[in-house]
Amino acid sequence: MTSLETADAFQRLSLALAIGILVGIERGWREREAAPGKRVAGIRTYGLSSFLGGFCGFLQPITGPILPTAIFVFFCVTILGFSRMQALRERDYSATAVIAAITVFALGFGAVVADMTATAASAVAMTALLAAREPLHGFLRKLTWLELRAALILLTMTVVILPILPNEAVDPWQMINPFELWMLTIFVGAVSFAGYVMIRLTDTRAGLLLTGACGGIVSSTALTLSFARQSKQTAALSPLLSAGAMMAGAVSLSRVLLICGVIAPAVLMELAALLGPAAAVFAIGGGVAGFSPRSGDSPDFSPKNPLEVMVVLRFALLLAAVTIVTRAALEFFGMQSLVAVAFITGLGDLDAITLSIAKLPSVPPDAAARAIAVAALANLLAKVGLAASAGSLGYVVRLAIVTGIAVLAGAAGSFLSPGRLIS
């Protein structure tokens, strides 16, 4: 072996040993209360297991695959034997330790024969998974069948349906691309589902502001209406409820910016000056209102599962319809119709019109940003209207004042947009 090959071998064997020590630290910490000799594997055993796997990888080019395979089989039998004795003594039949030991051996082998970066990343991911036992088990205890079904729907949408959809326009007007339409539906559904999971994993009574922020990811309109009804029932909670609705508004506007940043960065640069100040006003207003004297417990917010089959299909159809209407209006009435279409559509749904306008190649970024801002304005006005129809006076007044300030902030931000500065 040359000096370069020797240095590489030492580096790889050192990585194999480090992988075992890393996993052994996590395993040893979890069983740190056990008496010496009462556990099958600790930091030394995992370190030696990974180093043994690495040495087998070092031997393979010299001895062939037979000796490394025999060592691996002997290792598996030994680990299984000791684990069986511990399981019989403690009546603990978890296979995690056995699987972890075998995986550590394989990672040590991979550190020598495979890519070092990928192997090291795999070891870190494995250790993080082992360390996340309590949070994962707690998540499973809270998980319901509806949420599991929603996750399966999201996976089916992404892995099964998306690859078989045609990635080209299928209508005579060249407006609807099924692949792009479904991809956008998955994106919005994933963001909504993430917010839904956050609400389920946190205690909504522990913080109304967090509930408002999470509810803004799922549906700021639904949360605003839900809090409005509760403010009618318990007027003393109006300041706190309005704070939650403001946080939902801030997250909703930030969500629009996120969508544009993913599918149309050029539009984001124009839109940030319009919606960024408004989102900041809602966030500050929510924080200030959140410090109001608290009376009673925080109300619960129970959003509908955002990935029910009919909800997903309804959004996909809505997105397709908005896309057709928007493009048809531009075709027959020109660019001046875009703002009117955005305002009308934004009264009911902000995501669909945002997605439709942002991905239109014929609309300049500054015009698209103004239309999305108009849709956001319509959506904010609609939420104030819903609050007025179902909420207490204190709730409505606070939300309306902050909404008005947010609109003025967005209007002032329009003078700082890149398009206005360049012109």
Mean predicted lDDT score pLDDT of the chain: 78
Which range of residues forms the domain containing residue 22?
Answer: 3-131
Domain count, the chain: 2
Is pLDDT of 109 > 90? yes
**pTM for this prediction:** 0.54
Domain check: are 204 and 63 in the same one?
no
Report yes or no: 346 and 380 within 8 Å, Cβ to Cβ: no
Domain check: are 294 and 387 in the same one?
yes
Domain check: are 127 and 144 in the same one?
no
Domain check: are 327 and 354 in the same one?
yes
**Lowest-confidence segment of 44-48, 92-96, 100-104 by average pLDDT:** 92-96
Alpha-helix residue ranges (DSSP H) falling in 31-115 = 43-63, 66-90, 96-113
Pick left, alpha or beta for residue 112 (phi over 0 → left; psi -120 to 50 → alpha; otherwise beta).
alpha
Dihedral angle computed from the Cα positions of residues 357, 362, 365 and 371, in that order, rounded to the nearest 10 degrees: -40
Rounded Cα–Cα distance for residues 104 and 126 (Å): 9
> Mean pLDDT, to the nearest integer, of 162-188?
75
End position of a domain, from candidates 131, 165, 192: 131
Confidence of residue 54 (pLDDT cuts 50, 70, 90): very high
Domain check: are 199 and 164 in the same one?
yes
Q: Which of 216-220, 313-317, 354-358, 378-382 has the highest mean pLDDT?
A: 378-382
Q: How far is CA 247 from CA 212, 219, 393, in A?
A: 5, 12, 19
Domain check: are 214 and 112 in the same one?
no
Q: What is the pLDDT of residue 319?
A: 64
Q: What is the pLDDT of residue 205?
A: 44
